[in-house]
Amino acid sequence: NSFVVRTNTCGELRSAHVGQKVTLYGWIQYQRQGLFLVLRDFQGLTQIIIPQDEAHSHVKKLLSNAPVESVVRVTGTVSPRPPGQENPKMPTGDIEVKAETAEILNFCKKLPFEIKDFIKKSEALRMQYRYLDLRSFQLQHNLRLRSRVVMRMREYLCNLHGFVDVETPTLFKRTPGGAKEFLVPSREAGKFYSLPQSPQQFKQLLMVAGLDRYFQVARCYRDEGSRPDRQPEFTQIDIEMSFVDQAGIQRLIEGLLQYSWPEERGSITTPFPSMTYEEALAEYGTDKPDTRFGMKIVDISDVLRLSDIQFVQNALSYPRGTIRAICIPQGVSYLKNKDLESLKESAKSQFNQEIMEIIRRPDGSLKSLLTKFLGEKQQLELIQALNMQVDDVVLLAAGEHKQVCSALGSLRLLSANLLEAAGLALRDPTAFHFLWVVDFPLFLPKAENPAELESAHHPFTAPHPSDASLLSSEPTKVRSQHYDLVLNGSEVGGGSIRIHSAEQQRFVLEKVLKEDSEVLSHLLEALESGAPPHGGIALGLDRLISLIVDAPSIRDVIAFPKSFRGRDLMANAPDYVTPEELEPYHVQVSWPLEEKEAKKN
């Protein structure tokens, strides 16, 4: 209550305050028949008793007629609630304030929705009236928790470990590869700035400058549409260190998260477990495994290798051919036939992967199109390999290793959703399972042209020391010194040890990625100027906070997010500008024909 004219907030009065005269400011949450109202501010609710005597008739008239969500000042005396009228669900439920004077500071018009967490509102309406949506206790809680976590992170990095908080530019130049960047026109004809996807180059340059330890709560931009876990502008905790290895970065981040973790979410255990990219793909079908539940992918190639099943033999004839399966516990009890069909259809449409099901009956026998091709011994081996219990359902896939694992990894998550929707508790909503994923490939074939390579993460990632000799001869076999941090199946951070040799960086850009290194001449020149070995990481702050508070979308932990299509529905941005405003930037808009006609009309 420092610096303001109230004596208390609406969430702090207790029995100990009985008899005190207080002044409260807030919004009218609820008013009942001119008898009492509930006043709300950022900290909570207080019940205000409206006086009924003639001497305070003006106060009664004022408060009885004020619309809900009007802003008021109330001065009165704290009293205990009458016996039996206490409200144990409210922190202030033992007391009430008997109003003596009041003032309406601002009347509220009729709003598009009620300010209550349980009122259902469309996403578009919430975005359009975001300043009203932010009045809800849940969003206020999310933003305040986010603020506390960031403050603790600053303490840990700057006060305890000597990091320097540096702000890097927002207007920069285009970076080769990676996500699409937003362009900003300049007054030089044909020249554009680019909004950075991350401060990647700047933080490396700060290491060349000898700053040693850099940190920033960085705003980043990507022009690739919006998804539930993505926004065109987002925030990351950006970190870079000199003279560090992968283990050093990992220990730093574990300590950082342990120090800044909200007490109400329990404690987290360090060190976090670690898994290679290949292990993650083989067991979970993804590079960001949700390790809160089992249903791991099992390799059953050896069990079926000697069978006469044609599709099995075809699959095993591939260079990386495999037969794998997942076992859905109590699938018969919890999944309907239409659920199993939707799972198979999902694998077919997304991964072009056929799926076969196997069910274990109550008598222990197997029900499947496969069983007629399998002897008793093979069936028993299959049951043992998958640890199949009665009423379990197995989904089996055969084919190329990565395709099979990716398809089963997707089905594993879809199955978990279906089981939980049917009432089987599978993932503990209060559990936080962190995991490091390491040893990623350094390069991947381009989707549009597999003969060409692109960086699996970005072109500044250093190769694994054991694989550096393969850079020129077999670049697809080179592992990187990249590491991802995964929490409950979502990637919340990623980083790497960087290339600090100008010669190696130039080779990667020109010979492997076939990029024009001239675009990065400033960085290459810096690496030739005595660049120390260095590495870093960036934590996705929005995603991390959304997981901590169990929000369905990162939009629920950002004050003013963009819509699903990347628009600001409140201010209606992006918006048109006039040709006159564009003229200094040497930009002309080429309108599609139908839009030209629409503008004429």
Q: Is residue 129 part of a domain?
A: no
For 54-60, which contacts have Cβ atoms below 8 Å and span 24 or more sequence positions?
56/99, 56/100, 59/99, 59/100, 59/101, 59/102, 60/34
Q: Which amino acid is at 577?
A: V
Q: Which of 372, 395, 422 lies at the terminal end of a domain, its last residue?
A: 422
| Model pLDDT, residue 177 | 60
Do 551 and 465 fall within a single domain?
Answer: yes
Alpha-carbon span 291 to 273, nearest angstrom: 10
Q: What SS3 class is residue 239?
A: strand
Structure tokens at 584: 């200094």
Helices in 81-178 by DSSP H: which ranges?
123-128, 130-133, 137-154, 161
Do 302 and 200 fall within a single domain?
Answer: no
Residue 361: which CATH number? 3.30.1360.30
pLDDT exceeds cutoff 80 at 15: yes
Chain centroid, CA 517 distance in Å: 33
Domain count, the chain: 3
| Model pLDDT, residue 540 | 97
| Model pLDDT, residue 601 | 55
Q: pLDDT tens across 248-292, in order? A: 999 999 999 999 999 999 999 999 999 999 999 999 999 999 999
Do 302 and 363 fall within a single domain?
Answer: yes
pLDDT exceeds cutoff 80 at 176: no
Q: Is residue 600 part of a domain?
A: no
| Model pLDDT, residue 505 | 96
Q: Is residue 44 part of a domain?
A: yes
Q: What is Dmax (Cα atoms) for the chain? A: 97
Q: pLDDT tens across 62-116, in order? A: 999 999 999 999 999 999 999 999 999 999 999 999 999 999 999 999 999 999 8
Residues 54, 59, 60, 61, Cα dihedral to 10°:
110
Q: Which of 106, 130, 158 lies at the terminal end of a domain, its last residue?
A: 106
Structure tokens at 449: 């042209």
Do 522 and 417 fall within a single domain?
Answer: no
Alpha-carbon span 490 to 310, nearest angstrom: 38
Q: How many CB atoms lie under 10 A from the CB of residue 58?
A: 11
Q: Residue 247: which pLDDT band, with cuts at 50, 70 and 90? A: very high
Structure tokens at 390: 């009665």
Q: Which whole-number Å values give the CA distances from 431 to 193, 289, 337, 549, in the listed order?
A: 43, 14, 31, 12
Q: pLDDT tens across 182-221, in order? A: 999 999 999 999 999 999 999 999 999 999 999 999 999 9
Give 98: exposed, middle or buried? Use CB within 10 Å, 0-12, 13-18, 19+.
middle
Once rounded to an integer, what is the mean pLDDT over residues 519-537?
Answer: 96
255: left (phi over 0), alpha (psi -120 to 50) or beta: alpha
| Model pLDDT, residue 226 | 61
Residues 546, 549, 553, 555, Cα dihedral to 10°:
-70
DSSP conformation class of 441: B
Alpha-carbon span 515 to 422, nearest angstrom: 51
DSSP conformation class of 265: G
Q: Is residue 468 part of a domain?
A: yes
pLDDT exceeds cutoff 60 at 178: no
Residue 162: which CATH number? 3.30.930.10
Q: pLDDT tens across 451-467, in order? A: 999 999 999 999 999 99
Give 211: exposed, middle or buried? Use CB within 10 Å, 0-12, 13-18, 19+.
middle
Do 151 and 267 fall within a single domain?
Answer: yes
Do 404 and 297 fall within a single domain?
Answer: yes
pTM: 0.93
Do 270 and 149 fall within a single domain?
Answer: yes
Q: pLDDT tens across 496-515, in order? A: 999 999 999 999 999 999 99
Tokens 């700053």 locate to: 211
Quick one: what percent of the chain has pLDDT higher than 70? Answer: 97
Q: How many CB atoms lie under 10 A from the CB of residue 21?
A: 12
Give 118: exposed, middle or buried? Use CB within 10 Å, 0-12, 13-18, 19+.
exposed
Q: How many CB atoms lie under 10 A from the CB of residue 17?
A: 19
Q: Which whole-number Å values give the CA distances from 32 to 62, 100, 321, in the listed order?
A: 14, 18, 71
HSE-CB at 455 with a 13 A cutoff on CA atoms is: 24
| Model pLDDT, residue 87 | 95
Alpha-carbon span 350 to 38, nearest angstrom: 52
Do 249 and 303 fall within a single domain?
Answer: no
Domain of residue 64 covers 15-106
Structure tokens at 53: 């005597």
Do 325 and 393 fall within a single domain?
Answer: yes
Once rounded to an integer, what is the mean pLDDT over residues 135-152?
Answer: 97
Q: Residue 117: which pLDDT band, with cuts at 50, 70 and 90? A: confident
CB 360 within 8 A of CB 317: no
Once rounded to an integer, what is the mean pLDDT over residues 511-524?
Answer: 93
Q: How many CB atoms lie under 10 A from the CB of residue 152?
A: 16
303: left (phi over 0), alpha (psi -120 to 50) or beta: alpha
451's CB contacts (< 8 A; 6+ apart) are 445
Instruction: Give the least confident one: 20-34, 222-236, 252-266, 470-484.
Output: 222-236
Once rounded to an integer, what is the mean pLDDT over residues 383-397?
Answer: 96
CB 339 within 8 A of CB 309: no
| Model pLDDT, residue 560 | 96
| Model pLDDT, residue 16 | 97
| Model pLDDT, residue 597 | 61
Q: pLDDT tens across 410-464, in order? A: 999 999 999 999 999 999 989 999 999 999 999 999 988 999 999 999 999 999 9
Q: Is residue 125 part of a domain?
A: no
Q: Is residue 25 part of a domain?
A: yes
| Model pLDDT, residue 355 | 96
Nearest to 329, CA basis, from 393, 378, 269, 274 = 393
Q: Is residue 157 part of a domain?
A: yes
| Model pLDDT, residue 428 | 93
Q: What SS3 class is residue 423?
A: coil
HSE-CB at 499 with a 13 A cutoff on CA atoms is: 25
| Model pLDDT, residue 459 | 94
Alpha-carbon span 300 to 297, nearest angstrom: 9
3-state secondary structure 578-600: CHHHHHHHCCCCCCCHHHHHHHH
Q: Is residue 576 part of a domain?
A: no
Do 29 and 145 fall within a single domain?
Answer: no
Q: pLDDT tens across 314-350, in order? A: 999 988 999 999 999 999 999 999 999 999 999 999 9
Give 309: exposed, middle or buried? Use CB within 10 Å, 0-12, 13-18, 19+.
middle
CB 526 within 8 A of CB 205: yes
| Model pLDDT, residue 276 | 98
Alpha-carbon span 404 to 398, nearest angstrom: 6
Do 313 and 410 fall within a single domain?
Answer: yes
| Model pLDDT, residue 594 | 63
Q: Residue 1: which pLDDT band, with cuts at 50, 70 and 90? A: confident
Do 63 and 147 fall within a single domain?
Answer: no
* Average pLDDT in the chain: 94
Q: What SS3 class is residue 294?
A: coil
Q: How many CB atoms lie under 10 A from the CB of residue 430?
A: 8
Quick one: what percent of the chain has pLDDT higher than 90? Answer: 88
